[in-house]
Chain A
Amino acid sequence: MTTVEEFVLPNGLTVLVEEIDSTPLVTLNMLYKVGSKHENPEKTGFAHLFEHFMFEGSKNIPHFDSTLQVAGGDNNAFTTVDLTNYYETLPAINIETALWLESDRMLELDFNQQSLDTQISVVCEEFKQNYLNKPFGDVWHLLMDLCYKSHPYRWPTIGLKLEHVEHITLQETKDFFYTYYRPNNAILSIAGGVKSADVIPLVEKWFGDIPAGPSIEQPIKEEDKQTHGRTKEVTRDVPSSVIYKAYHCFNRTHADYYALDVITEILGTGDSSRLYKYLVDDLGLCTEIDAYLSGTDEHNLLIIEAKPEDGISLQQIDAAIISVLNDLQETLVEKRELEKVINKACNYLAFTNESHQSKAFNMAYFKSINSMHLYNNEQTFYHAVTPKQIKRIAESIFTEANSNTLYYNASSNE
């Protein structure tokens, strides 16, 4: 059994270290507890643009990437609705280079108008490449807008529109940095071929003198409980239609979360899932169908998406999906089906835990939702799920009043 060393520096930086002696590499993961849900509704896409800006050089190190590459490392980053995450993987012996780099860009960035302009342009190209210039690219914008009315999850991380990103100013990036990118709003985790005794003094050396920032007491706008079913219908120039159904669930830390994940798997992961068997195999209504969770910290959505066979309407599919959901409300899941889903979850967890890079992120992530008890221990929670619990959750979630349906029609089909 592995152990995680955990401590907090006086400036508020949370530090987690796990020694994994089977690898000559190490991953340093830095999680900042800021995502698109913290954005001003008039300035969406900010957190993600800022992630790009973090690679534009810091106070003492002009080139982040090339400096890391000299140490044999590579890196990446991503922004979600809840958080922004950065990681570097490099030979363990060179861990200090990664600490030096991450600490310097937490200390102070090189706030430079030209770099900002370039990254705004890069992000606008990303926006076009993935959301505007691609079939089905606007699905997420439509669906989030339908599902959330006041919570900031109503816009995707890339931003509501290009114009928001285009108008971001240098002063705004400074304000953002000194609010959210302070040590007291971050979690540093290290997993790989290092010894805690060696690495902890280095963490103190490089991060110890970075000043803390203000404590962040920004309430996120709550989402009222949905009381009426919602539908939206659009027509686009795409080769095939698609239907999305989304149901509001609960927070990631809710006691029923693992049962919710089990429900999702029962419904729609793989060719032996219920939705696949009924809608694809038995009725021949769709070519593809999937169910998944949005995976957010708060107000998770259970989402079902399906593509119809030729000549089948989205309404026919909708009705068939509802009948599958009703069945979960009426009949207890059999032991064998539950066992199958738990086996799948354990398989996934075991492969994830083989990678020190995944471990570094998972540690930081569970810490960010104050749930370190889940780290390396999620199997236990899957094993505890019961058929009665599944029925109870299905009854409360799968109601007409809690449903959001997007009919995305192909114009060529009309």
Chain B
Amino acid sequence: MNRTIAPKVQLPHSLSLGHVHEETLSNGLKVYTLDGTSQNILQLNILMPGGRFFEKKRMLAGLCASTLLKGTNSKSAREIAETFDFYGATIKIQANMYSAQVSLFCLSDKFAELLPLLMDVLQNAQFPEKEIEKIKRKSKQKLAVQWEKNSYIATQYFNRAIFGAEHPFGYLSDAKDIDAINREDLLQYYMEGLHLNSKSIVLAAGNIGATIHKLISDSFSKLSLHSGDEHQANIQPQEPDFKEITSKNALQSAIRIGMPSINIYHKDFENLQILNTVLGGYFGSRLMSNIREEKGYTYGIYSFLNPLMDTGYFCIATEVGNQYKNATISEIEKEINRLKNEEIPAAELAMVKNYMIGQIMKSADGPLSMISTLKNFVIFGLDLDVLNKQLENIHAIDAKQLQELAQQYLNFDKMTKIVAG
């Protein structure tokens, strides 16, 4: 046996995606279901067009999500928690950038018992004063801890530099803004941003079957929906910024380097994702190989493209030993310029392509993974076919195209650079 010869590998050109059942209820609500887990489980996600983008007061989306389960007109916070816990279920409320999300994870045979409570929370949340005050104190305590972390400080200032200090994605989180929120604000945001409306989407995956399917359709179709809000946040183009922030935790510095970029609908978006993967999008990336594996400056360095609707941004993030701060920034510049000046060698490109194909297979592996992937697409009005389109792109792209993309979209001099440490 010759151990130096690699076993042959094969990768698919298309994916079998399983059957996603798509349905529009009589009230206009969209429901996606995926049946077929091996376990007797159910994951239900309800997406509402809320999130930070729709905030009319700072920190409101997050605080509203934290207080949603704290009482309805017939149930106390404790009764709600008792019921979800009694049936062994987990319920999570999140405020994302563009969406507010309610997620329920339970055993399929407990779903019928949990559904009435879920509907109650979705329609009749009350936000009791006492609970609001408690959550505000807890949120402020957590925020104070966050501001002690260089990584948090750097991300906050980076977002501000990209979006502007007034944008819902750009303002600095401040305890004073939490103090300024009252019950009326929460109720108003709940009605507008955390409430099922005509743009909401329900997704369910698991061992569903006809009974659960019918339960979902019946209960969600009974709801009268608000019309979707057309709120738009105002984006001002920002000048690139360079900022060094001194913090008291000075063993390491957190670095964020990046710039505005294309949005998820742009024709180059998928290809730019491939370029980003080469640079810093996975463990074997150029940034990781150079700055962690060769130089040992950091425990980790990554780059990412954040897919947004009307804009997008590109960012490199790392925490490095203080003595390596300047060396790291200059290596980042070198790696960006290398992508612009040289074609990616064939072996490296083949490796990245195969790695990305494996990742796409993972994102479609079974109903739970598939629904989590679909969830991120439907927010943008896209569906799972994106995965097959991504596969096609990956197979088709060549080194020359990637070099052109680097020249077009990456410009180190125009990048915002934030260092906290």
- Residues of chain A touching chain B, judged by Cβ–Cβ distance below 8 Å, are 20, 22-25, 59-61, 65-67, 69-74, 89-91, 93-94, 96-97, 100, 104, 107, 117-126, 128-130, 132-136, 205, 209, 237-240, 270-273, 277, 280-281, 284, 287-288, 307, 309-310, 336, 339-340, 342-348, 350-351, 353-354
Instruction: Give the docked Cα–Cα distance between A24 and B366 (Å).
Output: 9
Kindly list chain B residues whose C-beta atoms are within 8 Å of the C-beta of A205. 1
Is there contact, CB below 8 Å, between A134 and B249? yes
Give the distance to chain A from B182, nearest Cβ to Cβ, in Å.
Answer: 20
Known: A74-B282, A240-B141. 14 other contacts (CB 8 A): A24-B361, A60-B3, A72-B9, A73-B358, A89-B362, A94-B7, A122-B296, A126-B299, A240-B145, A272-B81, A287-B141, A340-B86, A347-B106, A351-B39
Kindly list chain A residues whose C-beta atoms are within 8 Å of the C-beta of B39. 350-351, 353-354
Kindly list chain B residues whose C-beta atoms are within 8 Å of the C-beta of A118. 293-296
Q: CB-defined interface of B198-242 with A at 8 Å, one 1/0 digit per residue?
A: 000000000000000000000000000000000000000000000
Is there contact, CB below 8 Å, between A354 and B37? yes
Name the 5 nearest CB pairs between A and B, nearest first: A121-B296, A72-B358, A343-B88, A239-B144, A347-B88
Instruction: Give the docked Cα–Cα distance between A71 and B87 (Å).
Output: 42
Is there contact, CB below 8 Å, between B299 and A122? yes
- List B residues 324-381 near A (Cβ within 8 Å): 350-352, 354-355, 357-359, 361-362, 365-366, 368
Is there contact, CB below 8 Å, between A129 and B141? no
Instruction: Give the docked Cα–Cα distance between A344 and B366 (Å).
Output: 23
Instruction: Give the docked Cα–Cα distance between A65 and B86 (Å).
Output: 44
> Knowing A307-B141, A344-B88, A350-B41 touch, does A72 contact B11 (C-beta < 8 A)?
yes
Q: Which of the residues B87, B105, B134 comes within 8 Å of A287, measured between beta carbons? A: B134
22 sample A-B contacts, Cβ–Cβ < 8 Å, listed by A number = A25-B362, A60-B4, A61-B3, A69-B352, A69-B354, A69-B358, A72-B9, A73-B355, A74-B359, A89-B362, A91-B11, A93-B10, A118-B294, A119-B296, A205-B1, A271-B78, A336-B86, A343-B107, A344-B88, A347-B89, A350-B41, A354-B39
Is there contact, CB below 8 Å, between B9 and A309? no
- List B residues 74-129 near A (Cβ within 8 Å): 77-78, 81-82, 84-90, 105-107, 110
Is there contact, CB below 8 Å, between B362 and A120? no
Q: CB-defined interface of B39-58 with A at 8 Å, one 1/0 digit per residue?
A: 11100000000000000000
Is there contact, CB below 8 Å, between A120 and B7? no
Report the number of A-B residue pairs with Cβ-Cβ less than 8 Å: 205
- List B residues 287-303 near A (Cβ within 8 Å): 292-299
Instruction: Give the docked Cα–Cα distance between A267 and B148 (Å).
Output: 30
Kindly list chain B residues whose C-beta atoms are within 8 Å of the C-beta of A125. 252, 296-299, 319-321
Interface of A is mostly: helix
Is there contact, CB below 8 Å, between A310 and B137? yes
Instruction: Give the docked Cα–Cα distance between A74 and B361 (Å).
Output: 12
Interface of B is mostly: mixed
Kindly list chain B residues whose C-beta atoms are within 8 Å of the C-beta of A117. 296
Q: Which of the residues A24, A128, A280, A284 comes within 8 Å of B321, measured between beta carbons? A: A128
Kindly list chain A residues whose C-beta atoms are within 8 Å of the C-beta of B88. 340, 342-348
Kindly list chain A residues whose C-beta atoms are within 8 Å of the C-beta of B90. 347
Instruction: Determine if B408 is an interface residue (Cβ-Cβ < 8 Å).
Output: no
Kindly list chain A residues whose C-beta atoms are within 8 Å of the C-beta of B298. 122, 125
Instruction: Give the docked Cα–Cα distance between A59 and B106 (Å).
Output: 47
Is there contact, CB below 8 Å, between B365 and A134? no
Give the distance to chain A from B127, nearest Cβ to Cβ, in Å.
Answer: 16
Instruction: Determine if B30 is an interface residue (Cβ-Cβ < 8 Å).
Output: no
Q: Which of the residues B251, B320, B355 comes within 8 Å of A132, measured between beta carbons? A: B251
Is there contact, CB below 8 Å, between B3 and A70? no
> Knowing A347-B89, A354-B38 touch, does A24 contact B365 (C-beta < 8 A)?
yes
Instruction: Give the docked Cα–Cα distance between A209 and B284 (Å).
Output: 30
Is there contact, CB below 8 Å, between A350 and B7? no
Kindly list chain B residues whose C-beta atoms are within 8 Å of the C-beta of A209. 1
Is there contact, CB below 8 Å, between B248 and A287? no
- List B residues 183-203 near A (Cβ within 8 Å): none
Kindly list chain B residues whose C-beta atoms are within 8 Å of the C-beta of A69. 282, 284, 351-352, 354-355, 358
Is there contact, CB below 8 Å, between A65 and B283? yes
Is there contact, CB below 8 Å, between A272 and B82? yes
Kindly list chain B residues whose C-beta atoms are within 8 Å of the C-beta of A277. 78
Kindly list chain B residues whose C-beta atoms are within 8 Å of the C-beta of A23. 365-366
Instruction: Give the docked Cα–Cα distance between A333 and B155 (Å).
Output: 47
Is there contact, CB below 8 Å, between A121 and B297? yes
**Chain B residue at minimum C-beta to C-beta distance from A309:** B137
Is there contact, CB below 8 Å, between B12 and A91? yes
> Knowing A125-B299, A307-B141 touch, does A238 contact B148 (C-beta < 8 A)?
yes
Q: Which of the residues A100, A272, A309, A336 comes within 8 Å of B7, measured between beta carbons? A: A100
Is there contact, CB below 8 Å, between B354 and A71? yes
Is there contact, CB below 8 Å, between B81 and A133? no
Kindly list chain B residues whose C-beta atoms are within 8 Å of the C-beta of A351. 39, 41, 105
